[in-house]
Structure 1
Amino acid sequence: MRTFKTESKKLLDLMINSIYTNREIFLRELVSNASDAIDKLYLKSLTDSSMGLDQANLAINVAFDKDARTITVSDNGIGMTEAELEENLGTIAHSGSEAFKEANAEAQGDAVDIIGRFGVGFYSAFMVAKEVSVVTRAWGADECFRWTSDGVEGYEIEPVAADDPAWRDSCGTSIVLTLKDDTEDASYDEFLSEWKLRELIRRYSNYVRYPVQMLVTKSREKERPADAGDDYKPEWEDYTELETVNSMTPIWKKRASEVTDEEYAEFYKSTFHDWADPARTFSLHAEGTLEYDALMFIPGQAPFDLYSRDYEKGLELYSSNVLIMEKCADLLPDYYNFVRGVVDSADVSLNISRETLQQTRQLQAMARRIEKKITGELEAMRDDDREAYEKFFENFGRGLKYGIYSSYGMKADELAGLLLFWSARDQKMVTLREYVAAMPSGQKAIYYAAGDDRDRLSKMPVVQAVLDRGFDVLLCTQDVDEFCFQAMREFTAKGLPKAYADDAAREAAEKAAADGAEPEVEDRTVELRNVTSGDLDLASDDEKKAAEEATKANEGLFGAMKDALGEKVEKVAVSTRLSADGAPAVITSEGPLSLEMEKVLASGPEAEHAPKAVRVLEVNAAHPVFEKLRAAQEAGDEDKVALYAGLLYNQALLVEGILPEDPVAFASQVCELM
């Protein structure tokens, strides 16, 4: 027995038990090696026309014997001599394919794609096999050799006699794995089935460029006997047939003009196990220092577990048409976690084996380009097919908003333009840019209201007050909306028609445009304001003056109301946002924490420690109720003032969708008033 070169025991144990963690990839590695062997033979035929190689006959064969507990992977590639067996399989981590690839780099092209790289893939066979036998015959050689090892101490190389059943009549290699016995912790019998082997080939090696063939069992109806009577019942029989079980040509390598929408949809549904067609399909082909192909899909519906902790994002990553990772999370940002697809590149940096990916600038460059492509496709969908985009946003918009919030607003420039919100004025979904473009002169901010119900929000006094002034309000009903806007703080609408300070400037610009000049555009940055927060600065000078006078004239009343409400409010003030026929009072907040944010935080896991909004009770001095308050204060009826203050406060809370702290006491107060 010959011993392995290098520190055989330690290194081989590392190869088998540490580098690879998923034992089922052994078949992927052996099929990839077989593909390389055929590629080498084909490349040789390109420079030696006397070989007379028939490319149509090049194939890889996979078979199993359940009784003998063996799996055989055969190819009719270039084969190996005794010296090559010694060099390639006797020296661990020596890659014959890698050396061949470097030596023949200029001769390779689209027709040849050597997969191997590190020379450790072959040893993955020992994860499932207690013995591996390699029978090979090199091109042009008369001798056939067998390499045998148990993967522990060493190996043997011996010639194969012509009368040996293992003798090969032509060049190529056959690898026979004798599987390990089952244990309590591991079952190896699962690999001794037609279904399992076909499933592994289709998952990992479906796009290897050569046919991977297997004898598969099929069923057919027996021929009806000539003398069969009317009561004859059809009989069926099983038979085996050699079948190609891989697709060979990746759909992402084809030109878009060669693939129909139906074929893309079928690939998407079968690959990613979705019953609905994708909402959008797009591809990316990069050339230069880093070459790769990508085919991506935006699902037509959100998976049920999209927002659960168990959901895994990522694109399928292939290297030279061989599946490396089923979900490469590093290729997608979290806010695009819904995108499905494949990326294929021979240039990705693998770490020792095809199972481990290095974190490199190459991967980062691919991720940036993919992110930019996804953003561009979403923008195109938003502009060209609004109905489809609104459906997409209904499914996945929450993730885009969370992307802005989780990045502390750093991703707002990329994502804010993709957001949609319900316009209270226009009664439809609008983008932030559309909102800003429709703002009347004099409007200083984007106004929004956050809550859990659109209909309730539209009826809120603070919303109506803004609408009455001719300004639109965005109605936000997702719990992440308020946090998203707080992270953004402002929005810049780019490329809007320029707003002119006076009629003369506008007329001059219109004349210039009529003479052929390009219309002037500008970027407009506006603040985002919650209609329940602080002073919106919507009041006229006269309204502000009237509020100041009312506040000064009723300091005693407001002080008594504040004393009655205690720590529930920071202060009681005259509202400048409510009209005479509006609500008698509203609850607003001061500082960064709004009432809606308080509600969301209070429903979370840290509800006991959730912060509270700084509440302000704004009273409508033009409402008849205010006169009742003044009358009670002037009459010295402190109990009635306290009663009215509590009723107004709890009523304002209900309008905000917040239950009074003591609903029973509130009901009693209403009954007392009645």
Structure 2
Amino acid sequence: MTQEATMKKTREFQAETKQLLDLMVHSIYTNREIFLRELISNASDAIDKVRFNSLTNHDLLEGDDQFEIFLIPDENSRTLTISDNGMGMTYDEVIENIGTIAKSGTRAFLEKLKERETSTDQELIGQFGVGFYSAFMVAEKVTLITRAPGQAKGVKWKSTGDGTYTIEEIEKEKRGTTIVLALKEEFRSAEHGEENFLNRYTLQSLIKKYSDYIRYPIRMNFISEEKPKDAEGKIIEDAPAKQTVEVRTLNSMTPLWVKNKNEITKEEYFSFYKDLFHDWEDPLEIIHSKAEGTVEYTTLLFLPSRAPFDFYDRDTTAGIRLYSKHIFIMDKCREILPEYLKFVRGLVDSPDFSLNISRELLQHSKQLKLIGKNLEKSILKTLENLLTKDRPKYETFWKEFGQALKIGIYSDYQSRDKLKGLLLFPSSQSPDGLTSLEEYTGRMPEKQKVIYYAAGKDRASVERLPQMELLKEKGIEVLYLLDRVDEFAIDALQEFKEKKFQSISRGDLQLDDFESETEKQDAENLAKDNESLVKAVKDRLGDKIAEVKISSRLKTSAVCLVSDDNGISLSMEHILTEMNRASFKAKRILELNPHHEVFAALKKLHETAPDSDAFTDYCDLLYTQALLIEGLPPEDPIAFANKVAKLMAGNEKN
């Protein structure tokens, strides 16, 4: 304990935390009762922590292994107290966990508030882990008293939500945390009915609603009064009533997963999920199963409705909870499911798990690997069923977690065949929805050899690509790859149902079977007749491009850039550059539309003044125009602007 901790100190919250407190204090939320659920969930987590750590360090229990959470509503002091005998916190941990942004996700929470027209209060609080601060919705002052196991002194933290807090070292006999809420007037009066949080029956109802499946007893004293009776059993009206105190357990504590799933209501599943995983939205899908035989286990898995705000961050931890005979032994076990399924929440309970299981043992556990394979099959089967039987629900899932499956395709070789049927993409023939690869290939004309795709930042930009013109004319469907990971996934797949993927901006379009013999002959003649022009354009542009070609894919645009079949695409080059991997370059091919009036002007210049600056400028302008169409910056913006101005001025004179 530092010298600073031995005396009472006043400190300021971090800036973003001050903003959050201000929002809480001024009651922007309507569903105020959620504060109780949040504080009880925190208490349960603290008990989980000390219980798990005590498996390897029994001294942490300090002789107290009767875990409980206790509520004390006190009308005299107008306070509600929530206490637990969980892990407790040290002085430094209180500052870190309560006073700063590091543990709370406050910044992201505040940013999300800007979109709160589309989100409910509960979603935001649960999603961003700012539950402790919800106490300030109902309390004018919050006092936290805590002691970690093995610490000689406890810590007292106090704040009125004004942007500052006091912290000091105190005496505290038992480990754990006690939170005392000095309730605001509107939450401590009988006039406010369901929002009177000193009413024991209100509290009991809220525990049943939100925290019934907390695995530790949530207890509270109930006081009853009874007047004495005479020898005949009649109540003596004038005699003072006798008070009796009854300690009641408010939650059932029965693990939901041990029940027969036919006896469990959807509401019970939803309540359990929200309580255990601190989510405020109902899960999208539930997977509840029991396996017996070589490996015995029960599993209860959930597909969330919404991705957490930090789901795709590299450092985000996820995983399945492990239990042994209903006893919690490990949180966030990442070894049981592949990385691409990290969005799945849930638990596995097996009597064969050791209470002292470690992550090192997990890596070599054949039993866990077998369970993991079974769970993976079950999850993928569930997704397949959603895709075929409940398309709207699957598309809701895809919007939130589709990127995870696509990452799985290019990062996990063994998963490609399992996942390719679950992919969805926008396409030129699905203006308002998404299409699967199965649906795309089912619509393909018999003579179509490949699956066409185009990459871009959004649908509109893809549809404006010059490379789309010929395919549109022939009515050929094109998949739109609008996510940064899409092209990586498609490149990893290479083919679907023996149909290779073909970028519309890469190599030859393989449309021979869609062209007549006359069209093919005309294309050959055009290429032959313009060989010298093509060579001259290539000479002027030099190393900027690998090749110049007469285009067969352009119909109305003058020019486009494509890349070689053997290298990366231009869109992938753009993405890699943004990832600071600029060393990867596409082999650029400039295609010219021989039917465009600019081509005629270029050809005339080549015939009359092949060595002129004007011809060189035309070549440069066409190349830069092609770059801009692809979303790539001009190599020399000033020179490009000057050449355009010069051309405009020349046309004005003519």
The CA deviation at 1:429 is 0.6
Give secondary structure in 2 for the equivalent of 1:264.
helix
Q: 2:485 aligned with 1:480, yes or no?
A: yes
**Contact preservation (8 Å) 2:55, 2:355:** no
**Structure 1: distance between partners of 2:283 and 2:634:** 47
The CA deviation at 1:241 is 4.3
**Structure 1: distance between partners of 2:173 and 2:645:** 77
Q: 2:294 aligned with 1:289, yes or no?
A: yes
**Counterpart residue number, 2:645:** 671
- Select 1:570's aligned residue among 546, 555, 559: 546
The CA deviation at 1:351 is 4.8
The CA deviation at 1:605 is 3.2
**Structure 2: distance between partners of 1:338 and 1:61:** 31
**Structure 1: distance between partners of 2:617 and 2:479:** 35
The CA deviation at 1:571 is 1.0
**Counterpart residue number, 1:84:** none
Structure 1 residue runs of 5 or longer lacking an equivalent are 1-20, 35-58, 65-70, 74-123, 129-177, 197-201, 224-237, 493-524
Mapping of residues 367-386 of structure 1, within 5 Å? 367-386=372-391
**Structure 2: distance between partners of 1:189 and 1:384:** 58
**Counterpart residue number, 2:532:** 556
**Counterpart residue number, 2:371:** 366
Q: Structure 2 vs 1, CA of residues 290 and 671 (structure 1 numbering), >3 Å: closer, same or farther?
A: same
Give secondary structure in 2 for the equivalent of 1:330.
coil
Q: Deviations over 1:435-482 (max 9, x none)?
A: 000001210111000111111101212113112222100111111111
The CA deviation at 1:379 is 0.8
**Contact preservation (8 Å) 1:213, 1:242:** no
Q: Deviations over 1:248-302 (max 9, x none)?
A: 4211112222111111111111111111111111212111111111111111111
Letter in 2 for 1:663: P
**Contact preservation (8 Å) 1:447, 1:528:** yes
The CA deviation at 1:556 is 2.1
Q: Deviations over 1:569-619 (max 9, x none)?
A: 10111112223xx21111100023000000000001334xx3110000011
Letter in 2 for 1:319: S
**Contact preservation (8 Å) 1:588, 1:618:** yes
Q: Structure 2 vs 1, CA of residues 288 and 566 (structure 1 numbering), >3 Å: closer, same or farther?
A: same
Q: 2:565 aligned with 1:604, yes or no?
A: no
Q: Structure 2 vs 1, CA of residues 327 and 473 (structure 1 numbering), >3 Å: closer, same or farther?
A: same
Give secondary structure in 2 for the equivalent of 1:365.
helix
**Counterpart residue number, 1:501:** none
The CA deviation at 1:426 is 3.1
**Contact preservation (8 Å) 1:215, 1:241:** no
Q: Structure 2 vs 1, CA of residues 246 and 189 (structure 1 numbering), >3 Å: closer, same or farther?
A: farther
- Select 2:523's aligned residue among 543, 547, 559: 547
Give secondary structure in 1 for the equivalent of 2:572.
helix
- Select 2:504's aligned residue among 513, 516, 531: 531
**Structure 1: distance between partners of 2:641 and 2:214:** 71
Larger Rg: 1
Q: 2:607 aligned with 1:634, yes or no?
A: yes
**Counterpart residue number, 1:49:** none
Q: Deviations over 1:324-377 (max 9, x none)?
A: 111111122111111111111111355568997563110000000000011011
Q: Structure 2 vs 1, CA of residues 650 and 190 (structure 1 numbering), >3 Å: closer, same or farther?
A: farther
Q: Structure 2 vs 1, CA of residues 189 and 400 (structure 1 numbering), >3 Å: closer, same or farther?
A: farther
**Counterpart residue number, 1:153:** none
**Contact preservation (8 Å) 2:471, 2:477:** yes
**Counterpart residue number, 2:201:** none
Q: Structure 2 vs 1, CA of residues 342 and 636 (structure 1 numbering), >3 Å: closer, same or farther?
A: same
Q: Deviations over 1:306-336 (max 9, x none)?
A: 0112311201111100111111111221111
Q: Structure 2 vs 1, CA of residues 647 and 358 (structure 1 numbering), >3 Å: closer, same or farther?
A: closer
Q: 2:579 aligned with 1:594, yes or no?
A: no
Letter in 1 for 2:573: E
**Structure 1: distance between partners of 2:279 and 2:57:** 31
Aligned residues: 464
**Contact preservation (8 Å) 2:221, 2:248:** no
Mapping of residues 157-556 of structure 1, within 5 Å? 180-182=150-152, 191-193=175-177, 216=220, 241-244=246-249, 247-349=252-354, 351=356, 357=362, 359-407=364-412, 409-427=413-431, 428-492=433-497, 525-539=498-512, 540=515, 541-556=517-532
- Select 1:643's aligned residue among 609, 613, 617: 617
**Contact preservation (8 Å) 1:451, 1:457:** yes
Letter in 1 for 2:601: K
Give secondary structure in 2 for the equivalent of 1:596.
helix
**Counterpart residue number, 2:590:** 617
Structure 2 residue runs of 5 or longer lacking an equivalent are 1-47, 71-82, 91-147, 156-168, 181-207, 228-242, 649-654
Q: 2:29 aligned with 1:25, yes or no?
A: no
Q: Structure 2 vs 1, CA of residues 63 and 296 (structure 1 numbering), >3 Å: closer, same or farther?
A: closer
**Structure 1: distance between partners of 2:450 and 2:602:** 34
Give secondary structure in 1 for the equivalent of 2:414.
coil
Give secondary structure in 2 for the equivalent of 1:600.
helix
**Structure 1: distance between partners of 2:384 and 2:541:** 50
**Contact preservation (8 Å) 2:52, 2:329:** no
**Contact preservation (8 Å) 1:324, 1:354:** no
**Contact preservation (8 Å) 2:441, 2:451:** yes
Q: Deviations over 1:92-136 (max 9, x none)?
A: xxxxxxxxxxxxxxxxxxxxxxxxxxxxxxxx99xx9xxxxxxxx
Letter in 2 for 1:556: S
TM-score, scaled to structure 2: 0.64
**Structure 2: distance between partners of 1:433 and 1:471:** 16
TM-score, scaled to structure 1: 0.62
Letter in 2 for 1:464: E
Q: Structure 2 vs 1, CA of residues 184 and 571 (structure 1 numbering), >3 Å: closer, same or farther?
A: farther
**Structure 2: distance between partners of 1:25 and 1:350:** 9
The CA deviation at 1:644 is 1.4
Report % sequence identity: 40
Letter in 2 for 1:564: R
**Structure 2: distance between partners of 1:72 and 1:476:** 51
**Structure 1: distance between partners of 2:616 and 2:471:** 30
**Structure 2: distance between partners of 1:565 and 1:613:** 16
Q: Structure 2 vs 1, CA of residues 554 and 383 (structure 1 numbering), >3 Å: closer, same or farther?
A: same
Q: Structure 2 vs 1, CA of residues 239 and 569 (structure 1 numbering), >3 Å: closer, same or farther?
A: farther
The CA deviation at 1:668 is 1.6
Mapping of residues 86-105 of structure 1, within 5 Å? none
**Contact preservation (8 Å) 1:452, 1:477:** yes
**Structure 1: distance between partners of 2:285 and 2:471:** 38
The CA deviation at 1:183 is 6.5
**Contact preservation (8 Å) 1:454, 1:477:** yes
**Structure 2: distance between partners of 1:61 and 1:630:** 87
**Contact preservation (8 Å) 1:207, 1:322:** no
